[in-house]
Each structure stands twice: as structure tokens, then as C-alpha cells.
Amino acid sequence: MEIKQKVDVAIVGGGMVGAALASGLAQHGFQVAVLEQEVPPEFDSSADPDVRISAIGAASVALLRQLEVWPQVLDMRCAAYRKLETWEWQTAQVSFDAESLGLPELGFMVENSVLQRALWQRLQQQQVSLLCPARLQHLQQVNGGWQMTLDNGEALQARLVVGADGANSQVRQLAGIGIHGWNYAQSCMLISVRCEHPAGDTTWQQFTPQGPRAFLPLFDRWASLVWYDSPARIRQLQAMSMPQLQKEIQAHFPARIGKVTPLVAGSFPLVRRHAIRYTLPGLALVGDAAHTINPLAGQGVNLGYRDVDALIAVLSESRLRAEDWSSAAVLMRYQRKRLKDNLLMQSGMDLFYFTFSNRLAPLRVVRNLGLIVAEHSGVLKRQALRYALGL
């Protein structure tokens, strides 16, 4: 079989995480190819917002600025949030604000489609080989790297293959890397709504025994609602007409939401996965291919960007030292940097999830006392927020 192309790094998946990694490595002079199944659609400012939203923290914004992608996001659409509130009992509320950390904002709500488009535009300006539409079919180790066979029969050789191809990563499966994981007893529904009043800059989350209800402010009068509940209940909500769903929202979300009109909804099951390892010689996993997390605090894509940051740093520093940058030893540095942090964040979210998603009366008292203590813990509260923002 003829090898069509030889590159330093081949990244499978050109989504929010894979495209950021490709852009960063290209900035550092690596020869990069990206395999992606479809080109992100053009941005249409008159279109309703994408139902898939990411809460981009301060550290992720810094990475996107470094990649020269953030100005393009601002040219399209995003919404800053400056305050975050969470509660179960009204008397036990924890609130975080940007001012307490001396920041202009805690982060931004960005539609996934906007972020993907901005990154793709940036890749088109860089020396990156974009193979799209393309699907990976086979992966085999060869001297000095990996050989990849695409669905059109073409072959590609790379010193390093990176799986940035999501939770059901084909790279992970073809490389024989196992996962630990389980399904949570909950599903999640995302609902794009129009509000009666401007959405503001506060994102909030109310815990209920069935699962959290969250409000994410978007641009103008648009917002995104997040509804966690049992899979059966979410299926029932998904089958409703928008007027029926509107009535359910008014009945089950706190009154502060005001009058909202739902326009589109989507749902997904909650699954926790963690790859047993992130690396093999000449191969690495990033983002959801390595770990999926309960989306409770919107940390998924931010963890992916921490992976990107770490992998770029490890590879570029190693190459400067004239090391074999795709070797097992060098890639293990990336794994050591990221495995513990991802596990800590996953476990923290799980603790939150299991503590709040039940009806045990003694636990309700304890968890609400915990929120009251957290609200008055000053320095500890700020440190927790700084960690979540990646600062």
C-alpha cells in the first residue's frame, strides 16, 4: 500500500479538543495532519443557538487566546458569566463571583458549534493537513510510529497518533486500551429557551433529589437549561411538545427563572469512563477519548484543554532537548501530569452527584450544612474556584 503522507503527528478528531491540539502543535513547528469526518458548518448569526453549550473557564480562554482563536469566537457569539450560585435549601446557598478573584469574568458560555468553527478557521490559516471527510479504519505499529489506513484506502504514517475522537474513541479501541466506567442512574436534557427578560451574567444550579436543575445565560434573551433526572423521566420529557415542556419547566424549575419559551431540546445518558492508560509508544489520548466526566460543573471541555496544554508542553520541551519526543518515556510525562488531575475532578463530581442525588433526610441536613460552611469559608472557597477554573 502506498503511503500518501508522512507526518509528525496525526490527530484523529478535529472537534473542540483535537483542533486546539493541532493548532498548538503547528504553532510549535510540528507537521500535523487532522482526520475529521465532517467540516463544521458556517456560522449563521441569525440562527438559534446550538443546544450543546460549553462553560469555558479562564484557563481555557487563555489557551484559545494563545492559539489566536478567541477573537474569532468573540466575533461570532459567546456570553460572559460573572457569578455562579448553587443551593438546595434557599438558606444554604453558595455563590462565587469573578470580583472576589479579581477577574473580569469567571468564564464564557460558548456554543460548541461556534468553538468548532473558530478552531477550524484557524487550522485553515496554519500549515496543517486537513483530511476531511476521513475516517480511520486500521491502525498498526510500524518502525518509528504508526500506520493508519483511511476509509478511502489511503495510508498515512505518523510518529505520534493522538486520539481526540470522543468518548467512544476508535483510536483507543484499535490500540487495545481498556477503560473503567459505569452508567450513572441519570440522563441529562439540554433545552434552549428564550427568556422574557435579558438572561444576565449569573449561572445557577439547584440540587433536587431527582438531580440538579441549572440555568446557563447566553446572549440577548437566550439561555440554556440543564435538567438531570432518571432516564425514564428524561425520555418522557423528550417526547413532549414544546408547549408541554414549557409547563413542566415552570412546574419544576425555581421561580427565579421567570417565563421561558423552549425552542429545542436534546438529551444524553450520563456515563463515566476513564482510560486505564493515556499513552502507548507513539500514541496518546486526550479529552473525552481519555476521560468522560459527569457534566455537573461543565468541566468536560476544560479538562480536555488542560490535556492539550500539557501535551503541547511535554512534546515541545522534549523536542527542544533533542529527545525522542514520541517515545513511551516522554509520553508518560504527559500521563503523569494529567491522570491524577482528571481522576480528582471525576471523583469530586461523583462525590457531589452521589451526595445530592438522594432523599436520605440525615444526608440532606449534612449536605446543606456543608454548603453553608462552604459559603463562609473565604480563602478555601476561592481556592476551590481557582482550581475549577484551572488558575
- Can you give the pLDDT of all 391 residues of the chain as single tens digits? 566 789 999 999 999 999 999 999 999 999 999 999 999 999 999 999 999 999 998 889 999 999 999 999 999 999 999 998 887 655 556 778 888 778 899 899 999 999 999 999 999 999 999 999 999 999 999 988 999 999 988 999 999 999 999 999 999 999 999 998 877 778 999 999 999 999 999 999 888 878 889 999 999 999 999 999 999 999 999 999 999 999 999 999 999 999 999 999 999 888 878 899 999 999 999 999 999 876 655 567 898 999 999 999 999 999 999 999 999 999 999 999 998 888 777 666 656 555 545 454 444 444 444 444 444 445 444 554 454 455 5
Find the DSSP H helices in the chain.
Answer: 16-27, 58-66, 70-76, 112-125, 170-174, 231-238, 242-252, 300-320, 328-356, 361-375, 379-388
Which three-class secondary structure state does DSSP give residue 154? coil
Query: For residue 139, how far is the Cα from the chain centroid?
Result: 26
The residues near 243 (Cβ < 8 Å, ≥ 6 apart) are none
Cell numbers found for residue 154: 489511503
What domains are there in the chain, each with its CATH number? 5-79+110-181+272-357 (3.50.50.60), 184-270 (3.30.9.10)
Note the pLDDT of residue 100.
79
Q: Which pLDDT value is given to residue 369?
A: 45
How far out from the chain centre does Cα 33 lie?
22
Place of cell 478511502: 152
pTM passes above 0.85: yes
Three-class SS state of 270: strand
pLDDT of residue 343: 76
Residue type, 242: M
116 contacts 135 by C-beta, under 8 angstroms? no
Q: Which amino acid is at 279?
A: T
Separation of alpha carbons 313 and 53, rounded Å:
28
CA distance 197 to 220: 9
If one counts every other C-beta atom within 10 angstroms of the C-beta of residue 267, the result is: 17
pLDDT recorded at residue 95:
78
pLDDT at 111: 95
